[in-house]
Structure 1
Amino acid sequence: MRYFFNCKPTLLPTFILLVLSSQTMAKETNKNFEHIAIFGDQNTVNDIPGSAHLISESELEKFDFTDIMRTLTAIPGVYILEEDGYGLRPNIGMRGTGQNRSEKVTIMEDGVLAAPAPYAAPSAYYFPTAGRMQQIEVLKGTSSAIYGPRTTGGVINLLSRKIPDETLSGELKVTAGEDNFAKFHAFAGGSGQNIASLVELFNYQADGFKNINHTNTDSGFEKNDILTKVKINSDPSSGYYQELEFKVKYSDEKSNDTYMGLTDNDFKTSPYSRYSASQLDNMTTTHKQLQINHSVKFSELYQLGTSFYYNDFARNWYKSNKIDGQSIGGEGIKIASNFDKANQETPLEVQIKANNRNYLSKGVQSILSADLNEHQVKFGIRYHQDEMDRYQWVDKYLLDNNYIISLTDPGIPGTDSNRVDSAKALAIYIHDEVSYNDFMINLGLRYEDMTIERHDWGKNDPKRGISPSYKVNKLDVWLPSVALTYRFDKDIVLLAGIQKGFAPPAPGNETAQDEESINYEMGVRLNKQVFHGEIISFYSDYNNMHGNCTASQGCEDDNVGNQYNAGEVKVTGLELKTGYEFKNVSFSIPLDFTYTYTQTEFLTDFNSNLDTWSNVSKGDNLPYVPSNQFQLSTGLVFEQWRSDVIIRYTDDMRTTAGTGTIPSEQLIKSRTVVDLSAHYYLTKNQGVTFAVDNLLDNEYISTRTHGSIMVGKPRTFSLGYKYQF
């Protein structure tokens, strides 16, 4: 893997000097224009022909979540699967796509692809640090058709902090909580006439809420994030106004995380425990990013935005894989459970796999926007390359009757999984927004040309000295979309759309099929002063849905990476979001309600070794898609303080495809989780925050995807302080 640069804290003084030097320059306002955002503000969202939501900075600050999944439950049609309790491994799906590692959703940061290898290996073991984001944009259905490569479910675009318009401004936030949770977030930046800059630091950590049996090892984590931006712009009086922005980011993580969950009996008696066999399980990551954005305004009618991006991500998830030769997705969990309950004389053999992988993602993209009166035209092009380099091994340990684990047989790197999956893709799209009286027609066409390859050296050539086996899959696809909005009056908009959905095939199989669907939506949107609401029905008609076997789903070693085709699948649903703000002279009460109803159905019979599908019969429902889920948020806002509460409900879910009554061993029971946050403003620029996650201390199963039970985070308290300047 090529390391493009090393971002170290020693660079920070340079950027701080840039920030301070900008104070000597006269500030110029109203000159910024961006192409990294999909839409700019809430008013723009209201005119988008399809499901589109903006989570603003003020909304994010209410609860100040570091867990992206807790944030996204405010959006209808979005499904999440918690895993570690802190949002380190997000599992996000949209409109029934499936949530496994967010692989069916297009994840972007500042308008560019953010997954480690979006085409070759989309499973998002890396996810942008949600706690430092300033806004989040979410698109589904026809609204997301021009973004790819995955267009069936939707798009999440996380927007990092903009450089402040002020000469100098910044913020400092510190938070402490239970389980030694701590968060430090600070930024400073400023703008002058021709140069602007920003430095942002983000750190959060905890000891974890799980206790590892018979050990002193904690189940916690630490994550660091450093972001710097420098922007240079021409004089406003120049012939073609231009901006050039450099964004450099470094992040790392150490987390004592595992795939080992609990048996049903252990969940009932000790839900926040972990087996001693998992005491060495650990994930280490580093992520380095360079993004260069250039914008030029040729005239009031034509603008061009271009981004170059380079992401280098390395990770090694060193985790228990087999117990006494048995997979943890099978009998291994029961063996680990029984060992912790009895002081046995016979030691336990624990195989720990080094899931060592390096990722590279890079590309360049441009968007030309043209304002042609009745036609608002966008033409976009992107050339992208990515790869995943798997270089793994297995170490063998003995766990003795004192629960001390010792290395007995170190593995040789490259003797487990030893391959490179890579992809090259050219994407071109054109989008025309046509206005005619109260009608607006959106016509889109996207073209993708992809080459997806695998070079596999097997398990007997760790030095990669001989020619690897080689498989390639070449394909191209045309993806049209049509959407229509009709403004019934100034407050009510009717909308409808149809688009072709797509997801690329997995590498390693030259006959693997891509995923294709035809997606429909229809609804109405209302915005009137203090009331807003929308209701949208959707229907996704899959010609072929595919599922990729990953370790995160509990798949056996030899099966990881294989793709299974489900054929025809039908997903239907209803999304509702409405809000109202009651205002009084001295206080206000905001109300917001989000609801999603979903029905899924396989339309063909087939057999697979994908744990969550297994053997499917026509009429079976998809796993991990609740029929009903809703969220109600409300608060009480005064001039000097405010308090907000979220009530989040998720219906019963099945963990394996099926129909009718869900067997107990395949059931995730419905749950209601309540979060509370309160802010008190000491002065105009400083305040304190008190927050409680899972206020009612509900013990619940979050997922069974690893062949055992992973538990949701219990009630936790935190207290924070914020200072702005």
Structure 2
Amino acid sequence: MTKYPRMNKSLLALAVAIALPSAYAQDNDQDDIEHIQIISHYDKLRTEAGSATLLTEEKLGEYEYDDIHRVLSSVPGVNIREEDGYGLRPNIGFRGVTPERSKKITIMEDGVLIGPAPYSAPAAYYFPQTTRMTAVEVFKGPAAIKHGPQTIAGALNLVTRQVPEFTEGAIDVAAGGDGYTKAHGYYGSVVNNIGFLIEAVNVQADGFKELDGGGDTGFDKNDILAKFNYRLKQGNFEHTFGLKLSYADEISDETYLGLTEADFAENPYRRYAATAPANMDTQHQQVMFTHNVSGENLNLTTRIYRNDYERAWLKLNSISGKSPQEVLYNLESDNNQRLYEILKGEQDSIVPGATDFLTMGTNDREYFSQGIQFDGDITLNVFDLEHDVSFGVRFHEDEIERKHFEESYDMKSGVSTLVEGSKRFTTLNVENTKAWSLYVEDQIKFDALTIGVGVRGELMDMHYHDNNNPNKWQDKTTRIWLPGVSGFYQLSDDAGILFGVHRGFSPASPAQPAEIEIEKSTNYEFGGRYNDGVTQFEVVSFFNDYSNLKESCGQSNCGDINQQDAEFNGGAAHVYGLEAQFSQRYPLNLQLDIPYGFVYTYTKGEFKNERYTKFAQWGKVRSGDPLPYLPDHQVSFNIGLSSDNWRTSLAVKYVSSMEEASGSSWDIGTDEFTLYLEGQEVPASTTVDFSASYDFDKYGQVYLKVDNLLDEDKIVSRRPYGARPGKPRQFTIGYKYQF
């Protein structure tokens, strides 16, 4: 198989045929090319069914977050597992799905799938740089029926900066604690009807963890974006042609190894000497061509895209053949105590009578994803009823090639040193998926009632082969149709109720055996919203009924090298909850306003069957056992004080405790399973962030922000190997200048 196959001629012909229609369309601004749906009607009641949240550029700039975890803290129904404190590898879930590597939500940039291999290997080890986004859109429930392949929880769309209509640019520089710096700038203009935009970002930090023996524990990320567009008016139709080119890379000194409970209590920011060589090295490139045609009552957008991603992550896999979790959670053993001392660099790995090498594994992977995507929207009047019909089709192909290898390291005098000639390959395989996706949804208006009826189809052909064994291969075909019905009834100019039901699914990867089922659920929601132009309020209840809950073992959540990438059936499960959000702006006088709001999420997830599993987060589960890493309660409260040229903001986020594991250890005859972290919880936490800014008008803006103002030392996770902290208090001061 060619490493990076090109689109064949028939696909290019189809692209051209789709990209150049001379069709009807409705007046539509350029934002619609990147935005999935404009839902920012702050001054009037939104009448679409389904749950949708838009975070605007103004909202994103309020706290100047680089971490998508913190950005989404103001969105109801989002469940998160923190990992490195900086959000380098986000773990995001919606409505109770596992947050692990954001693999159960559909992630897009400018309306296009952006994960490295969304079908074949959906774990999102690449995530776009949040700093350069001008909007973030979140869709849940029936609102997400247009987006897949992950359709149980919802979709996240990240919107990049538009090509400006006039010459403009900006710079944004900042510096803060732990060696943090940010340099961000863009410039755009229009020359002879051709618009262009160049944007670049560098974000880096030395890291807040203290490595035994010294050394950086931070990261260095670069992101470069170039956009070009050309607008053409032909009769009643307006065409916009766009080209987007982007490049991103990252070097980060990150590890999966955490601390024992005792070491965390003494110094939560310590890092053991054995992790000194750990390093993540990534590169990402994207090319996308876009064409939009708009006219009186129809809008058509075509996207042709190609993403390439490479990553190599060197990290500790084992010591003397044992998983680090087996060592850290069983220090009563004399041998484990010795291995623990080696991890800390307090003993040498080679002494008379004992040789205990550290095994460092490099998960070297190459990905590509490419496709042609066509989306349209038409407004019709049939039998005196107004129909707003959305439709789309996409051909997508993605692939992951794994080239994993391990090397031995020797701990000597507190320094972990490579043993020359110890390299050995472990996993060598390829997974590939070709998928056709299509959807159609009709929003029909009956006076005050709008009913949406739609269906999504996912037609997938998957292939797996083991490069170590040419006789080990597998082909899989999946055809699934996912209907949905939603509605909104407008009670008054300011209030209405919404409801919906839809089928959701999550595909199994190409390498999994036939007994691993796809994840399927039937999802319900009911709620209402209110907006009188001053006060906005929305409350939505949801219930997801899983016929089969599925989970996979990755090193980030499982830690068992022998089960890497294996998937497990969890059977029937229920997830239900409530999402509420309220916002208001109170004027103190003609010069001062107090904007404030809160977001509350209640989520309960539980198994509805009994089964024995060897998955590291489940073990033996019984009906009623809770799902791991899912807090019952989350509350965010934001309050500010703003004037014409200055503002201050305070954000408080509370997250209740979360189970580390669902079930229990078990023993059946000769078959047994030890569930580490059985009965353990991630403790509840409260995080306070503060920001302030002063605008000097034509001389720019100065801003100050403090993340984790109260400097809370919190355990954010014990997976896969020991307790790990969130980011400590960090002061940052920055300057922005626009022209």
- TM-score for both structures, normalised by structure 1: 0.92
Counterpart of 1:17 in structure 2 is none
Does structure 1 residue 431 correspond to structure 2 residue 441? yes
Quote how far apart the aligned CAs of 1:509 are.
2.3
Q: How far, CA to CA, are the matches of 1:31 and 1:393 in structure 2?
A: 50
Q: How far, CA to CA, are the matches of 1:367 and 1:485 in structure 2?
A: 23
CA contact (8 A) 2:284 2:309 kept: yes
* Counterpart residue identity of residue 450, structure 2: M
Quote how far apart the aligned CAs of 1:470 are.
0.5
* Counterpart residue identity of residue 573, structure 2: V
Deviations 1:279-308 (A, max 9, x none): 0000000000001111122x3022211001
Aligned with residue 647 of structure 2, among 626, 633, 642: 642
Does structure 1 residue 259 correspond to structure 2 residue 267? no
Q: How far, CA to CA, are the matches of 2:471 and 2:250 in structure 1?
A: 32
SS in 2 for 1:101: helix
Counterpart of 1:286 in structure 2 is 283
SS in 2 for 1:585: coil
Counterpart of 2:212 in structure 1 is 213
SS in 1 for 2:662: coil
Quote how far apart the aligned CAs of 1:721 are.
0.4
Counterpart of 2:525 in structure 1 is 521
CA contact (8 A) 1:200 1:228 kept: yes
Instruction: Report the aligned-residue RMSD.
Output: 2.0
Quote how far apart the aligned CAs of 1:409 are.
4.4
Counterpart of 1:369 in structure 2 is 377
Q: Structure 1 residues 287 and 443, CA, compared in 2 at 3 Å: closer, same or farther?
A: same
* Counterpart residue identity of residue 425, structure 1: A
SS in 1 for 2:510: coil
CA contact (8 A) 1:393 1:411 kept: no
Q: Structure 1 residues 269 and 309, CA, compared in 2 at 3 Å: closer, same or farther?
A: same
Counterpart of 1:455 in structure 2 is 465
Q: How far, CA to CA, are the matches of 2:77 and 2:301 in structure 1?
A: 31
* Counterpart residue identity of residue 480, structure 2: V
CA contact (8 A) 1:472 1:510 kept: no
Quote how far apart the aligned CAs of 1:165 are.
2.0
CA contact (8 A) 2:465 2:473 kept: yes
Aligned with residue 605 of structure 1, among 597, 602, 610: 610
Does structure 1 residue 228 correspond to structure 2 residue 246? no
Q: How far, CA to CA, are the matches of 1:550 and 1:258 in structure 2?
A: 14
Quote how far apart the aligned CAs of 1:346 are.
4.7
Aligned with residue 324 of structure 2, among 309, 323, 328: 328
Q: Identity across aligned pairs (percent)?
A: 37
- Structure-to-structure mapping, 1:606-685, within 5 angstroms: 606-658=611-663, 666-684=680-698
Q: How far, CA to CA, are the matches of 1:30 and 1:521 in structure 2?
A: 30
Counterpart of 1:462 in structure 2 is none
Deviations 1:98-117 (A, max 9, x none): 10000000000000101100
Quote how far apart the aligned CAs of 1:487 are.
0.6
Quote how far apart the aligned CAs of 1:36 are.
3.0
Counterpart of 1:556 in structure 2 is 560
Q: How far, CA to CA, are the matches of 1:341 and 1:540 in structure 2?
A: 45
Counterpart of 2:238 in structure 1 is 241
SS in 2 for 1:200: strand
Counterpart of 1:446 in structure 2 is 456
Counterpart of 2:308 in structure 1 is 312
- Structure-to-structure mapping, 1:69-218, within 5 angstroms: 69-166=69-166, 168-191=167-190, 194-214=193-213, 216-218=214-216
Quote how far apart the aligned CAs of 1:30 are.
8.2
Q: How far, CA to CA, are the matches of 2:504 and 2:393 in structure 1?
A: 19
Q: How far, CA to CA, are the matches of 2:188 and 2:476 in structure 1?
A: 46
CA contact (8 A) 2:342 2:349 kept: no
Q: How far, CA to CA, are the matches of 2:417 and 2:346 in structure 1?
A: 17
Q: Structure 1 residues 388 and 371, CA, compared in 2 at 3 Å: closer, same or farther?
A: same
Q: How far, CA to CA, are the matches of 1:290 and 1:33 in structure 2?
A: 19
CA contact (8 A) 2:275 2:315 kept: yes
Q: Which moved more, 1:703-712 or 1:248-257?
A: 703-712
SS in 1 for 2:265: helix
Quote how far apart the aligned CAs of 1:32 are.
3.2
Q: How far, CA to CA, are the matches of 1:396 and 1:344 in structure 2?
A: 17
* Counterpart residue identity of residue 320, structure 1: L
- Structure-to-structure mapping, 1:532-551, within 5 angstroms: 532-551=536-555
Quote how far apart the aligned CAs of 1:555 are.
3.3
> Which stretches in structure 1 are left out of the alignment for 5+ residues?
6-28, 459-465
Q: Structure 1 residues 341 and 197, CA, compared in 2 at 3 Å: closer, same or farther?
A: closer
Q: Structure 1 residues 158 and 342, CA, compared in 2 at 3 Å: closer, same or farther?
A: closer
Counterpart of 1:15 in structure 2 is none
Q: Structure 1 residues 67 and 322, CA, compared in 2 at 3 Å: closer, same or farther?
A: same
Q: How far, CA to CA, are the matches of 2:477 and 2:677 in structure 1?
A: 42
CA contact (8 A) 2:274 2:415 kept: no
CA contact (8 A) 2:327 2:340 kept: no
- Structure-to-structure mapping, 1:685-704, within 5 angstroms: 686-704=700-718
Q: How far, CA to CA, are the matches of 1:493 and 1:573 in structure 2?
A: 20
CA contact (8 A) 2:47 2:490 kept: no
Q: How far, CA to CA, are the matches of 1:525 and 1:678 in structure 2?
A: 31
Q: Structure 1 residues 92 and 345, CA, compared in 2 at 3 Å: closer, same or farther?
A: closer
Q: Structure 1 residues 58 and 342, CA, compared in 2 at 3 Å: closer, same or farther?
A: closer
Quote how far apart the aligned CAs of 1:40 are.
1.8
Aligned with residue 489 of structure 2, among 480, 486, 490: 486
Q: How far, CA to CA, are the matches of 1:223 and 1:37 in structure 2?
A: 25
Quote how far apart the aligned CAs of 1:633 are.
0.6
Q: How far, CA to CA, are the matches of 2:421 and 2:507 in structure 1?
A: 37
Quote how far apart the aligned CAs of 1:332 are.
6.0
Aligned with residue 507 of structure 1, among 496, 506, 510: 510
Counterpart of 1:303 in structure 2 is 299
Q: Structure 1 residues 63 and 570, CA, compared in 2 at 3 Å: closer, same or farther?
A: same
Q: Structure 1 residues 102 and 410, CA, compared in 2 at 3 Å: closer, same or farther?
A: farther
Does structure 1 residue 722 correspond to structure 2 residue 726? no
Quote how far apart the aligned CAs of 1:118 are.
0.3
Q: Which moved more, 1:682-691 or 1:202-211?
A: 682-691
Deviations 1:650-702 (A, max 9, x none): 0011110049xx98961111010000001011224511111100000000011
Deviations 1:351-386 (A, max 9, x none): 110100001111111012211130011120000000
Q: Which moved more, 1:72-81 or 1:682-691?
A: 682-691
> Which stretches in structure 2 are left out of the alignment for 5+ residues?
7-26, 351-355, 665-675
Q: Structure 1 residues 555 and 343, CA, compared in 2 at 3 Å: closer, same or farther?
A: closer
Q: How far, CA to CA, are the matches of 1:122 and 1:33 in structure 2?
A: 28
Quote how far apart the aligned CAs of 1:312 are.
0.2
* Counterpart residue identity of residue 135, structure 1: A
- TM-score for both structures, normalised by structure 2: 0.90
Q: Structure 1 residues 313 and 277, CA, compared in 2 at 3 Å: closer, same or farther?
A: same
Does structure 1 residue 358 correspond to structure 2 residue 366? yes
CA contact (8 A) 1:138 1:156 kept: yes
Deviations 1:572-628 (A, max 9, x none): 100000011101211000011000001111011112222111221111010100000
Quote how far apart the aligned CAs of 1:75 are.
0.4
Q: Which moved more, 1:637-646 or 1:691-700?
A: 637-646
Q: Which moved more, 1:605-614 or 1:41-50?
A: 41-50
SS in 1 for 2:653: strand
CA contact (8 A) 2:342 2:348 kept: no
Q: Structure 1 residues 132 and 3, CA, compared in 2 at 3 Å: closer, same or farther?
A: farther
SS in 2 for 1:34: helix
Q: How far, CA to CA, are the matches of 2:408 and 2:679 in structure 1?
A: 31
Aligned with residue 432 of structure 2, among 398, 403, 422: 422
Counterpart of 1:270 in structure 2 is 267
Counterpart of 2:353 in structure 1 is none
CA contact (8 A) 2:116 2:124 kept: yes
- Structure-to-structure mapping, 1:55-70, within 5 angstroms: 55-70=55-70
CA contact (8 A) 2:293 2:299 kept: yes
Counterpart of 1:382 in structure 2 is 394
* Counterpart residue identity of residue 229, structure 1: K
Q: Which moved more, 1:346-355 or 1:113-122?
A: 346-355
Q: Structure 1 residues 589 and 337, CA, compared in 2 at 3 Å: closer, same or farther?
A: farther
Deviations 1:450-503 (A, max 9, x none): 112211123xxxxxxx62411122111010010010010111011000000111
